[in-house]
Amino acid sequence: MEVYLDNSATTKPYASVRNKMVQALDENYGNPSSMHRLGVNAEQLIRESTSIIAGALKVEPKEIIYTSGGTEANNLALIGTALANRRRGNHIITTRIEHPSVHQPLVHLGENGFNVDFAPVDKTGRLIKESLYGLVNDNTLMVSIMYVNNEIGSVQEIDELAAELKRIKKDIIIHVDAVQAFGKYRIYPKRQNIDLLTFSGHKIHGPKGVGVLYVSESIRINPVVFGGGHQRNLRSGTENVPGIAGIGQAVKEIYQDFDNKIARLYELKQYFIRQLAGLEDVSIIGIPNECSNEFEMEHLKKTAPHIINACFEGVRSEVLLHALEDKGIYVSSGSACSSHHPTPSVTLSAIGLPKQLLDSTIRFSMSEMTTREEIDYTLENISQLLPKLRRYTRR
Amino acid sequence: MFKAFLIKYAEIGLKGNNRYLFENALRDRIKEALGRLGKFEVSKEQGRIFISCPEEYDYEETVAALKRVFGISSICPVAVIDSSDWELLTQGVGDYVEAMYKDRSFTFKVEAKRADKNYFLTSPEICSRMGAYLLARFPQLKVDVSNPEVRISVEIRTKCYVYSIVIPGPGGMPVGSNGKAMLLLSGGIDSPVAGYMISKRGVSLAATYFHAPPYTSERAKQKVVDLATKISAYAGKMKLFVVNFTDIQLYIYDQCPHEELTIIMRRYMMRIAEKLALQEGCLGLVTGESIGQVASQTMYSLAATNEVCGMPVYRPLIAFDKKEIVELAKEIGTFETSIQPFEDCCTIFVARHPVIKPSIRVINKSEGKLAERIDQLLEEALSTVEVIEIG
Supply the pLDDT for residue A14.
98
pLDDT tens digits, B41-86: 999 988 899 999 999 999 999 999 999 999 999 999 999 998 889 9
Tell me, what CATH number does A368's domain have? 3.90.1150.10
Dihedral of CA A300/A302/A307/A313: which sign?
Answer: negative
Residue numbers in B near A323 (CB within 8 A): 213-214
Which residue of B lies nearest to A315 if distances are taken between CA atoms?
Answer: B215
Is A323 in contact with B214 (Cβ distance < 8 A)?
A: yes
Asked whether the beta carbons of B263 and B350 are under 8 A apart, the reply is: no
pLDDT given for residue A230 in this prediction:
95
Residues A195 and A318 in one domain: no
- Contact list in A for residue B213 (CB cut-off 8 A) is 322-323, 326
At B12 the pLDDT is 73
Q: Are B348 and A394 inside 8 Å of each other by CB? A: yes
% pLDDT > 90, chain B: 84
Average pLDDT value over all residues in chain A: 95
Of the candidates B118, B145, B168, which is a domain's last residue?
B168
pLDDT of A335 strictly over 50: no
Tens of pLDDT along A46-91? 999 999 999 999 999 999 999 999 999 999 999 999 999 999 999 9
Strands A173-177 and A140-146, by their bridges, are parallel
- In a domain, residue B174? The reply is no
pLDDT tens string A163-203: 999 999 999 999 999 999 999 999 999 999 999 999 999 99
Chain A residues near any Cβ of chain B (below 8 Å): 318-326, 342, 392-395
Higher pLDDT, A370 or B1: A370
Which residues in chain A have Cβ-Cβ distances shorter than 8 Å to B253?
392
Q: What's the pLDDT at B10?
A: 78
pLDDT tens, B224-258? 999 999 999 999 999 999 999 999 999 999 999 99
Q: Where are the alpha helices (DSSP H) in chain B?
A: 19-35, 59-66, 86-100, 123-137, 190-200, 218-235, 246-255, 261-279, 299-306, 322-332, 335-338, 360-368, 374-383
Do residues B285 and B312 make contact, with C-beta atoms less than 8 angstroms apart?
A: yes
Helix A372-391 vs helix A317-326: crossing angle, to nearest 10: 130
Bridge partners (DSSP) listed for residue B168: B74
Q: How confident is the model at residue B311, as a pLDDT?
A: 96
Counting the structural domains of chain A, the total is 2
Asked whether the CA dihedral B11, B13, B16, B19 is positive or negative, the reply is positive
What is the domain-level CATH number for residue B102?
Answer: 3.30.2130.30
What is the predicted pLDDT for the residue at B28?
A: 95
Q: Which of A254, A270, A304 is the last residue of a domain?
A: A254
Based on the fold, state whether residues B198 and B305 are members of the same structural domain: yes
Shared domain check, A274 and A208: no
Amino acid residing at B388: I
Q: Same domain, yes or no, for A43 and A133?
A: yes
My answer on whether A195 and A244 are in the same domain is yes
pLDDT at A336: 41
Q: What is the DSSP letter of B211?
A: E
Pairwise CB contact (< 8 Å): A318 & B343: yes
Please tell me the predicted confidence (pLDDT) of residue B353.
Answer: 86
Same domain, yes or no, for A106 and A52?
A: yes
| Per-residue pLDDT at A337 | 39
Of A238, A254, A270, the residue at which a domain comes to its end is A254
For residues A193 and A335, state if they share a domain.
Answer: no
B375: pLDDT strictly greater than 90: yes
The set of residues, in sequence order, having a beta carbon less than 8 Å from that of B253 and lying 6+ positions away, is A392, B261, B349
Contacts of A321 in chain B (CB under 8 A): 214
B173, part of any domain: no
Per-residue pLDDT at A218 exceeds 70: yes
Check pLDDT > 80 for residue A129.
yes
Q: Which chain B residue lies closest to A343 (C-alpha atoms)?
A: B341
B349 vs chain A: nearest CA distance in angstroms?
5
For residues A82 and A121, state if they share a domain: yes
Which band of pLDDT confidence, cut at 50, 70 and 90, is reported for residue B318? Answer: very high
Convert the pLDDT of each residue in A278-288 to its tens digit.
Answer: 999 999 999 98
Active site residue A291: no
Check CB contact under 8 Å for B214 and A395: no
Arithmetic mean of pLDDT, B323-341? 94
Among B305, B314, B294, B236, which Cα is nearest to B267's?
A: B305
Nearest to A326 among B214, B216, B250 (CB): B214
Q: Could you say which DSSP state residue B160 is in?
A: E
> Mean pLDDT over residues A211-239, rounded?
96
CA distance A75 to A68: 11
Among chain B, residues having any CB pair with chain A shorter than 8 Å are: 213-218, 250, 253, 258, 341, 343, 348-352
Other CB atoms within 10 A of residue A13 CB? 21
Is there a single domain that holds both residue A267 and residue A233?
A: no
Alpha helices in chain A (DSSP H): 15-26, 37-57, 70-75, 81-84, 100-110, 129-134, 158-168, 241-254, 258-277, 297-300, 317-326, 346-350, 355-358, 372-391
Q: Do B214 and A392 touch (CB under 8 A)?
A: no
Whether the ω angle into residue B341 lies within 30 degrees of 0, i.e. cis, is no
Question: What ipTM score was computed for the predicted complex, to two decimals?
Answer: 0.82
Lowest mean pLDDT among A16-30, B96-110, B166-180, B349-363: B349-363
Chain B residues near residue A319 by CB distance under 8 angstroms: 214-215
pLDDT at B351: 80
pLDDT at B158: 83
pLDDT of residue B13: 67
Nearest to B217 among A318, A342, A393 (CB): A318
Q: State whether residue A361 is helix, strand or coil.
A: strand
Q: Sort B387 into a burial class: Cβ within 10 Å, 0-12 / 13-18 / 19+.
A: exposed
Residues A277 and A249 occupy one common structural domain: no
Whether A341 has a pLDDT exceeding 70, the answer reads: no
Nearest residue, CB atoms, A392 vs list B218, B250, B352:
B250
Residue B184 pLDDT exceeds 70: yes
DSSP A67-91: ESSHHHHHHIIIIIHHHHTGGG--E
Put simply, the answer to whether B214 touches A322 (Cβ < 8 Å) is yes
Q: Which residue of A has its CA nearest to B218?
A: A322
- The pLDDT-based confidence of A343 (bands split at 50, 70, 90) is low
One of A319, A337, A358, A379 is an active-site residue; which one?
Answer: A337
Q: At B365, which amino acid appears?
A: K
User: Domain range holding A227?
Assistant: 15-254
For residue B249, what is the nearest residue in chain A, using CA coordinates?
A392
Q: Are A245 and A269 contained in the same domain? A: no
Give the confidence band of B116 by pLDDT, cuts at 50, 70, 90.
confident
Do B163 and B253 fall into the same domain? no
Q: Between chains, do A394 and B343 touch, taking CB under 8 Å as contact?
A: no
Which pLDDT score is estimated for B20? Answer: 87
Q: Which of A211, A229, A254 is the last residue of a domain?
A: A254
Asked whether the predicted pLDDT for residue B344 surpasses 90, the reply is: no
> What is the extent of the structural domain holding B117?
4-168
Q: DSSP 3-state assignment of A61?
A: helix
- Would you say B252 and B265 are in contact if contact means Cβ atoms under 8 Å apart? yes
With the CA atoms of A42, A48, A50 and A56 taken in that order, what torsion angle do they form, in degrees rounded to the nearest 10?
-160
Would the pLDDT of A108 be above 50?
yes
Contact A325 B214 (CB under 8 A): yes
Across A120-128, average pLDDT: 96
Indicate the residue type of A242: P
Q: Which residue of B has its CA nearest to A341?
A: B341
Q: Please tell me the predicted confidence (pLDDT) of residue A50.
A: 98
Cβ neighbors of B358 (< 8 A, separation 6 or more) are B260, B263, B300, B301, B304
B343 CB neighbours in chain A (<8 A) are: 318
- Give the total number of structural domains in chain B: 2
Residue A338's pLDDT band (boundaries 50, 70, 90)? very low
